[in-house]
Amino acid sequence: MVQSQRCPLERSHGKGVGRTMSETSMTERLGRMMPSLPQLGVARAIKHRLVEEVRDTFNDRARGERPVVRREDGLFGSSSVIWRVHGDVATMMIGGVAALLLQMLHPAVLAGVWDHSRFRHDMLGRLRRTARFIALTTYGGREEAEAAIAQVRAIHEHVRGTLPDGRAYAANDPRLLAWVHVTEAVSFLDGWIRYGEPAMPAADQDRYFAEIAVIAHALGADPVPRSRAEAEALMTSMRGELVSDARTQEVVQLLLGTPARKLSAEPAQRILFRAAVDLLPRWAREMHGLPDLTLGRPIVRSAASGLARTLRWAFS
């Protein structure tokens, strides 16, 4: 049982010593400012509802999935930058959608998803699997992280085929894995910086790339950037391989048109998706034919910031 602690604003009074008028009025003003017990109950209920909505979105209860427990004996630990970046729900959702939009611009990456998955009929399932992999490799114990990586590598061994132009592709191609990795790393970090830590030091950003490189190497990606400069250089070097065609546009429409699990969550999802489009580099938006948000950008960013703060409050 936790004993109550004295509020720092309180003063001790000796026996028989009363409070002055100013102290009395201060106490009354503080009392009016503090939420009542019914208000605290409502706040707790709202927090619980928000947390459960998020957990239901990213954990398939029918398959017995539960939130990943943070463990110090994993690949990183609580002192890592990756724990900080990947621990924010809203910015990871924004960054995750932006990463998918970037990944789909590579024809071989798109082909692997198009030919070997049910994403067109189960977009939520794909997002769930990606989110769970990130959670396990970031926060799970070492055996959990290594098992998740081994499972993905095993799946990739069977994902191969032929592009519409006749070229062969394979999901375990180190360069394709590098594109998937760098788009995720850049998008997750940029989402965190924009809506979580705008003044994030450059040294911490480089540490993030060095840490997440551990996962990329384990998956077989090559080359793997270990700094912000290397990540940006890799993306620039691969832009010549990117294409936007009819299949790309279909995937974009499916992704951005995915309905929320519940009607009540639709406004929040629209905000997150628009923030994801806004997070994209200009050249990527132009390739996708997505609208320039110049005029609506302040509204989108303000709404996304408010949503991010709300979710942090719910999980606090």
Summarised one tens digit per residue, pLDDT across range 171-181 is 999 999 999 99
Q: Do residues 139 and 131 lie in contact, with contact meaning Cβ atoms separated by under 8 Å?
A: no
The token pair at 232 is 């940006």
The token pair at 62 is 């029918």
pLDDT at residue 311 is higher than 90 = yes
pLDDT at residue 20, as a whole number? 43
In whole angstroms, what is the distance from residue 217 CA to residue 231 CA? Answer: 14
**Over residues 95-112, mean pLDDT:** 96
Q: Do residues 182 and 232 lie in contact, with contact meaning Cβ atoms separated by under 8 Å?
A: no
SS3 state at 169: strand
Task: Tell me how far apart the terminal alpha carbons of the chain are, to the nearest angstrom.
Answer: 21
The residues spanned by each domain of the chain are: 62-315
**Over residues 35-45, mean pLDDT:** 67
In whole angstroms, what is the distance from residue 239 CA to residue 207 CA? Answer: 25
pLDDT at residue 207, as a whole number? 98
pLDDT at residue 87, as a whole number? 95
Buried b (16+ CB within 10 A) or exposed e, 109-133: bbbbbbeeeebeeebeebbbbebbb
In whole angstroms, what is the distance from residue 207 CA to residue 80 CA? Answer: 8
pLDDT at residue 232, as a whole number? 98
In 3D space, the residue among 291, 299, 311 whose CA is nearest the CA of residue 271 turns out to be 299
206-226 residue pLDDT tens: 999 999 999 999 999 999 999
Residue 72: partners with Cβ closer than 8 Å, 6 or more residues away: 78
Sorting pLDDT into bands at 50, 70 and 90, what band is 83? very high
238-267 residue pLDDT tens: 999 999 999 999 999 989 998 888 888 899
Q: Which residue has the higher pLDDT, 31 or 137?
A: 137
pLDDT at residue 48, as a whole number? 79
> Which of 26-40, 60-74, 76-90 has maximum average pLDDT?
76-90
Least confident of 44-48, 181-185, 216-220: 44-48
pLDDT at residue 53 is higher than 90 = no
pLDDT at residue 46, as a whole number? 82
Dihedral in degrees, nearest 10, Cα atoms 74, 78, 84, 87: 60
CA–chain centroid gap for 100, Å, is 12
pLDDT at residue 227 is higher than 60 = yes
Q: What is the pTM of this model?
A: 0.84
The token pair at 127 is 């997002």
153-165 residue pLDDT tens: 999 999 999 998 9
